[in-house]
């Protein structure tokens, strides 16, 4: 009788909690990982734009399984100096994360994104700074497209740690730089969208983030010329099986290496590797308790750095691309693109202008000879936002680009696309 009474009380208590809406913890199948939002909080963003971005991030995390044993979230502002709104593990529920995002204040200052990326690596994502070992890591960078300092090196260091990078740009900035910064494929990890249309990509981006958290298991980090470290979530335990790690360089098919690890292992460092070489890696969980599929990864080691010369050569002026893009004479089916000439000592051999609708995948290209700094794009669709990228090509083979958003006004229905007019003089 007492047993049935206890069971009845337990069932009644469980039903009462369910009816009261008490927030339950994440399920055992909930994805685990660290999710960092990097927001442009500088003076280049208007207060209105920042409020819309803040609302967008709140919508993004609303249904996510945030809390102990699931996802941990953090928010960092890009400004003159990086500022952490809240670190990983600070909030234990999705509602607390949303409330903190809602009251986040814009920091203003410069757009030092590179400095913020380096800060994120050293103070948040690095295991030496307290990051969770063996869990997926995702960075969502929401930006107006520009940065006052270089982002390439610190972004690559984050990718080398195994961080998956999503970028949401409101339509300005260097397209080539953003393509290089986002994780591959760019179609899935890079979004260009007007600040008033951010809600359109909420569901798609959320699904992609959760997919990255669930599928990002075996990954490479600390990639160097002669070594790299592999990490994976705990799939087995010490008494439920073991792992077999295999390493095979793609240039020498016979040089296979194999390593057996206990079931509680979550990382391994391969050393003594060749620089600038692609390796195929396989993680094979062996267990009589769990049926787990092998995981595969391809990793390229870094090239060796050339030793410093005894006498340094004179510095070569940087080949900088267009300094500014101006959109004018906007018509329903055409618009004029002008740009400030290159500021570097190296004279550009010419320019090419790429343009396509922000919400489409078609891209057209117009060649503009050296000595000209404008062209008219025709055959456009009325009432459509376009991303326009002007790229300067130099004799060395290097290219430098700048992008801008352009909108055609509403007008009559679309006509068949025409070729863009040839460049006109300055």
pLDDT digits (tens, 9 = 90+) for 137-177: 899 999 987 788 888 889 888 887 778 899 998 866 677 78
Q: 283 or 22: which carries more pLDDT confidence? A: 283
**Lowest pLDDT segment from 187-191, 234-238, 275-279:** 234-238
Read off the pLDDT of residues 353-386 as tens digits, 9 standing for 90 and up.
888 887 666 788 899 888 788 899 999 999 888 8
pLDDT score at 8: 43
Reported as a pLDDT band with limits 50, 70 and 90, residue 321 is low
Residue written as token pair 């307290």? 130
Residues 294-309, mean pLDDT to the nearest whole number: 74
Domain CATH for 197? 3.40.50.410
pLDDT of 312 reads 42
pLDDT at 75 over 90: yes
Q: What's the whole-number average pLDDT of the chain? A: 78
Q: Return contacts of 234-240, CB within 8 angstroms, 24+ apart.
A: 234/134, 234/264, 234/266, 235/285, 235/290, 235/292, 236/263, 236/264, 236/285, 236/287, 236/290, 236/292, 237/263, 237/264, 238/262, 238/263, 238/264, 239/263, 240/287, 240/289, 240/290
- Average pLDDT, integer, range 111-130: 85
Structural domain contains residue 365: yes
Domain-embedded: residue 318:
no
Residues 72 and 131 in one domain: yes
The yes-or-no verdict on residue 128 having pLDDT over 60 is yes
Number of domains in the chain: 3
**What pLDDT was estimated at residue 309?**
47
Mean pLDDT of 323-352: 76
Q: Are residues 274 and 330 in the same domain?
A: no
> What pLDDT was estimated at residue 54?
93
Compare 8 and 409 and report the one with higher pLDDT.
Answer: 409
Q: Which domain holds residue 254?
A: 219-300
Of the two residues 254 and 15, the one the predictor is more confident about is 254
Name 237's Cβ contacts closer than 8 Å, sequence gap at least 6.
Answer: 263, 264
Indicate if 134 and 211 belong to the same structural domain: yes
Q: Of the candidates 168, 196, 215, which is a domain's last residue?
A: 215
CA 419 to chain CA centroid, Å, is 34
Residues 67, 205: one domain? yes
Residue 125 pLDDT: 84
Rounded to whole angstroms, how far apart are CA atoms 342 and 322? 5
Is 240 among the domain residues?
A: yes
| 233 in the same domain as 194 | no
Determine which of 89-103, 191-205, 291-305 has the lowest per-residue pLDDT on average.
291-305
Rounded to whole angstroms, what are the CA distances from 369 to 188, 349, 426? 34, 7, 12
Residue 23 is assigned to a structural domain of this protein: no
Cβ atoms 303, 275 nearer than 8 A: yes
> pLDDT category, 134, cuts 50, 70, 90?
low
DSSP string, 326-337: EEEEEETTEEEE
Judgement on whether residues 186 and 225 belong to the same structural domain of the protein: no
Q: Per-residue pLDDT for 20 more than 50?
A: no
Arithmetic mean of pLDDT, 61-66:
86
With cut-offs at 50, 70 and 90, classify the pLDDT of residue 204: very high
Lowest mean pLDDT among 70-79, 253-262, 391-400: 391-400
The tens digit of pLDDT for each residue in 236-266 reads 888 888 999 999 887 766 578 889 998 888 8
What pLDDT score was predicted for residue 253? 62
> What local confidence, expressed as pLDDT, does residue 416 receive?
46
Domain match, 98 and 228 both: no
Q: For the residues 288-302, what does the mean pLDDT come to?
A: 80
334/148: higher pLDDT: 334
pLDDT at 412: 62
* Angstrom distance (rounded) from CA 101 to CA 52: 12
Q: Return the higher-pLDDT residue of 3 and 414.
A: 414
Q: Is residue 314 part of a domain?
A: no
**Domain check: are 100 and 186 in the same one?**
yes
Is residue 367 located within the same domain as residue 285? no
More confident residue, 8 or 77: 77
Could you tell me if 205 and 241 lie in one domain?
no
Query: What average pLDDT score do residues 94-100 get?
Result: 88
């Amino acid at each position: 009788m007492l047993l049935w009474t206890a069971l009845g009380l337990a069932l009644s208590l469980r039903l009462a909690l369910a009816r009261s809406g008490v927030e339950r913890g994440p399920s055992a199948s909930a994805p685990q990982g660290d999710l960092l939002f990097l927001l442009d909080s500088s003076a280049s963003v208007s207060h209105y734009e920042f409020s819309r971005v803040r609302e967008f991030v709140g919508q993004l995390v609303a249904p996510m399984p945030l809390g102990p044993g699931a996802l941990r979230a953090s928010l960092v502002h890009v400004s003159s100096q990086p500022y952490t709104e809240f670190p990983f593990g600070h909030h234990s529920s999705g509602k607390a994360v949303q409330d903190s995002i809602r009251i986040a204040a814009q920091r203003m200052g410069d757009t030092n994104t590179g400095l913020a990326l380096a800060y994120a690596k050293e103070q948040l994502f690095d295991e030496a700074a307290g990051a969770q070992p063996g869990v997926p890591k995702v960075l969502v960078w929401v930006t107006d497209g520009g940065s006052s300092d270089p982002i390439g090196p610190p972004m690559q260091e984050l990718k080398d740690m195994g961080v998956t990078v999503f970028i949401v740009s409101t339509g300005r900035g260097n397209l080539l730089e953003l393509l290089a910064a986002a994780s591959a494929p760019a179609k899935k990890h890079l979004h260009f969208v007007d600040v008033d249309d951010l809600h359109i990509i909420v569901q798609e981006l959320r699904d992609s983030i959760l997919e990255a958290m669930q599928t990002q298991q075996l990954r490479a980090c600390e990639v160097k010329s002669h070594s790299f470290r592999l990490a994976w979530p705990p799939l087995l335990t010490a008494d439920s099986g073991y792992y077999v790690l295999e390493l095979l360089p793609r240039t020498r098919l016979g040089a296979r290496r194999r390593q057996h690890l206990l079931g509680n292992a979550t990382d391994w460092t391969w050393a003594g590797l060749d620089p600038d070489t692609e390796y195929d890696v396989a993680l094979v969980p062996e267990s009589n308790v769990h049926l787990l599929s092998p995981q595969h990864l391809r990793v390229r080691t870094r090239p060796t750095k050339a030793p410093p010369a005894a006498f340094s050569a004179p510095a070569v002026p940087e080949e900088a691309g267009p300094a500014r893009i101006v959109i004018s004479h906007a018509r329903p089916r055409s618009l004029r693109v002008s740009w400030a000439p290159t500021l570097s000592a190296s004279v550009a051999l010419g320019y090419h202008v790429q343009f396509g609708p922000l919400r489409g995948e078609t891209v057209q290209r117009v060649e503009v000879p050296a000595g000209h700094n404008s062209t008219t794009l025709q055959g456009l669709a009325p009432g459509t936002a376009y991303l326009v990228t002007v790229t300067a090509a130099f004799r060395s083979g290097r290219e430098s680009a700048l992008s801008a958003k352009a909108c055609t006004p509403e007008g009559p229905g679309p006509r068949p696309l025409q070729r863009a007019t040839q460049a006109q003089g300055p």
